[in-house]
Amino acid sequence: MNEPAKPPFPKQKQPMPGKTDAMEPVPDHGEKSYRGSGRLAGKKAIITGADSGIGRAVAIAYAREGADLLIADLNEHDDAKQTEKLIKDAGRKAVLVSGDVQNADHCRGIVKKALSELGGIDILVNNAAHQATFESIEDISDDEWELTFKVNIHAMFYLTKAAVPHMRPGSAIINTASINSDIPNPTLLAYATTKGAIQNFTAGLAQLLAEKGIRANTVAPGPIWTPLSLRRCLRMR
């Protein structure tokens, strides 16, 4: 994906959660560069936050490797439709589900939809996240702190708990953490705290699921040019 823009940042104002097409420069998710080789042929995957950013890049790669996908977004319908088209252009099935993953019932509904529309779950990618920047701890409201935990770590628990009973040996759970897990940015206190929790959740989960033959791993990216990073850049100006 493209490197994030460096100061001075292009003039761009977007409300949360942000739109891909409105970004300058527009990110490269591998639309033109990624070529698959059938490594996920016949697999069924759920990817949260798959409308844009890391989630869209994963969706493109998975589809071109042969997987059918359920892509979950909050309310970025235009971005989700673009991801859907890219999946279908790769010859794979795409199921769209919009809604707020901080809601436990919605998370369980995502899993049920994958089972009914895809016929199973081989891979769960917990990628959706909320991030906001604050210069002082006094500026972080109780609601903001709780929202960050509900979206970033509670949803991961809800989705995993619902999916595991339907996953066979050889299945995989992939959780998106962050460089902030190990090197927390002080202006991202709530976000960084949840990302540290994700690393511990995944380390424990991997041990818990080993006897079932299900793998659990984290990916901890650094800065990536997505609507999430864009919002942080704008807040830091």
- Tens-of-pLDDT digits for all 237 residues of the chain? 444 445 444 555 555 555 555 556 565 555 566 666 889 999 999 999 988 888 999 999 999 999 999 999 998 788 899 999 999 999 999 999 999 999 999 999 999 999 999 999 999 999 999 999 999 999 999 999 999 999 999 999 999 999 999 999 999 999 999 999 999 999 999 999 999 999 999 999 999 999 999 999 999 987 766 555 544 433 333
Topology (CATH level 3) of domain 44-236: Rossmann fold (3.40.50)
Sketch the domain layout of the chain as residue ranges. Answer: 44-236
Look up the pTM and report it: 0.82
Catalytic choice (34, 62, 158, 191): 191
The pLDDT score that the predictor gives to residue 205 is: 98
Q: Is 191 a catalytic residue?
A: yes
Condensed to tens digits (0 to 9), the pLDDT of residues 41-90 reads 999 999 999 888 889 999 999 999 999 999 999 987 888 999 999 999 99
Instruction: Supply the DSSP string of the chain, one letter for each residue.
Output: -PPPP-SSPP-----TT--STTSSSPPP-STTT----STTTT-EEEEETTTSHHHHHHHHHHHHTT-EEEEEESS-HHHHHHHHHHHHHTT--EEEEES-TTSHHHHHHHHHHHHHHHS--SEEEE--------SSGGGS-HHHHHHHHIIIIIHHHHHHHHHGGGPPTT-EEEEE--GGGTS--GGGHHHHHHHHHHHHHHHHHHHHHGGGT-EEEEE------SHHHHHHHHHH-
